[in-house]
Amino acid sequence: MNRVGAVIMQQILRQRMQPRQLQLCLDQVSPVELPHLSTFTQLRCTSTSTASNKQVTPPPRHDWNRAVSEAERIVGYPTSFLSLRWLLSDEIANVALHLRKLVGSTHPLMKTAKHLLYNGKNTMQAWGLIVLLVSKAAGHAPSIPDVEQDKSAGVLHSQRALAEVTEMIRISHLVHNSVVNLQSGTEAGQDATTYDDMSFGNKIGLLTGDYLLGHSSAELANLRNQEVVELISSAVRDFSESEFIGERDEQNNPLPFKPGTFQRPSLSVGVDFNEHDVMTPMPIGQVMGNPEQEWECRNILNAGSLLGKSCQASLKLAGQSEQMQRHAYRFGKHLALAWQACLDAESFQCPTLPLDATFSLVSAPVLFHLEHDPSLYKLLEPGKKSVDLIDYNQIHKAIVAGPALAKTKELQRKHTAAALSVLQHFPATDARQALENIILAMQDL
């Protein structure tokens, strides 16, 4: 969801700069950040992509930046401070020292770190902010003692800690995902000159991710609520599982299934986790071959699970009813999916792909287009070795000409509507209003 950060950044720039300046800056903070590509590819395109022509963007009816700063005011403070505590530890200072040795190398960890630190204020806050807003929107049971409450912000101290844990887990996943596959036989494992850098970068990345996971589990334990520990641990499980689904290239970037691999009737209802047993994994096998539901499952594991389960856990901490907790889960899930659809669509908004830009091969437009025209799969096959070998421009052209973008937009609207409708179960408060504003602003991006 760090892509949202770039989007927020864009909004800030849009507000504060003249159009000409804006265009220049937008080139640097490219919106073309795709969830399924390696962080490396993501950031490479961030830094090198040239202008995508955006001359016909209508003025937004709902302003994203205002929606976010309004929301921050409501939860009491800039949520970018959420993550400061772990940044100030000895271990992370140590990491920073070691990272200096990697400067100049091509290890994806460098890009991830740069990304997290440079855009820090904007990328880190989004999920924590949502968790806090949902917490405030739902309120808490009268049985919660006063000392547990952060009166000024209207959330519990435990909920604030949970929001931090959510961010730490998400970052830990991003960092662990920057590990480079150095198996012998892979391209990365061959090059002796960069091998040492890569190997050292993997070490630092692994330890940093483990540090964040370790600390989040300690923070979780201190919440003294085992149902919450169970739920959030299962979100960590979902993150790991998401990296195993379907075919992968050498660096574990995902590829779609060959059309016709699965001959299943479309299910009328989507699949989701078993409400009564968090240990049960997502039954993703049931939906393979149905582009929309396959996309949904992949992205629930990848994003919706943590946001949804954190919202749910936050309401558990507040002593809210099971039913309200389920609403919170569904809200978080649909919001994450709507966000993802919005980002997936972004690469296909303009008629030509910016130079060097790429997109995820399991993003919604690609999956929809494969359903519409299975012959596109031919173009994807070189990607089995490495997704870098694919002719992105050609695929982009085909998809833009087809119905996939419209279907993706439809998908986004569907999840936006679902998130808004589930929000109606929450009492009308300024926090709920803030959530609605964020959703509406996102829809207009």
Quote the tokens at residue 348: 């296909």
Q: Does 35 bind other proteins (CB under 8 A)?
A: no
Residue with tokens 């399924």: 36
Q: Are 231 and 312 in contact (CB under 8 A)?
A: yes
Segment holding 246, helix H or strand E:
none
CB of 178 to other proteins, least distance (A): 9
CB of 251 to other proteins, least distance (A): 7
| 3 state SS of 150 | strand
Closest CA to 49 of 309, 354, 349, 368: 354
Q: Name the segment binding other proteins (CB under 8 A); options: 242-250, 339-347, 348-356, 424-432.
A: 242-250
Among 2, 42, 79, 177, binds other proteins (CB under 8 A): 177
Q: Left, alpha or beta for 185 (phi > 0: left; psi -120 to 50: alpha)? A: left
Among 42, 159, 234, 347, binds other proteins (CB under 8 A): 234
CB of 345 to other proteins, least distance (A): 27
Q: Does 70 bind other proteins (CB under 8 A)?
A: no
Residue 299 CA, chain-centre distance (Å), reads 9
Among 17, 25, 153, 229, binds other proteins (CB under 8 A): 229
Task: In whole angstroms, give the CA distance from residue 83 to residue 86.
Answer: 6
Q: Are 289 and 262 in contact (CB under 8 A)?
A: yes
Q: Does 288 bind other proteins (CB under 8 A)?
A: no
- Which segments of 187-250 are extended strands (E)? 247-248
Q: Does 179 bind other proteins (CB under 8 A)?
A: yes
Residue 207 vs 379, nearer CB to other proteins: 207
Q: Does 243 bind other proteins (CB under 8 A)?
A: yes
Residue 278 vs 311, nearer CB to other proteins: 278
Residue 283 vs 319, nearer CB to other proteins: 283
Among 155, 236, 335, 439, binds other proteins (CB under 8 A): 236
Q: Left, alpha or beta for 405 (phi > 0: left; psi -120 to 50: alpha)? A: alpha
**The three-state (H, E, C) secondary structure of 171-194, written as one string:** HHHHHHCCCCCCCECEHHHHCHHH
Q: Are 206 and 176 in contact (CB under 8 A)?
A: yes
Q: Name the segment binding other proteins (CB under 8 A); options: 51-59, 64-72, 207-215, 329-337.
A: 207-215
Q: Does 239 bind other proteins (CB under 8 A)?
A: yes
Rule CB under 8 A: which residues touch other proteins? 90-91, 94, 98, 172-173, 176-177, 179-184, 199, 202-203, 206-207, 209-211, 213-215, 217-218, 220-222, 224-227, 229-230, 233-234, 236-237, 239-241, 243-245, 248, 250-252, 278-285
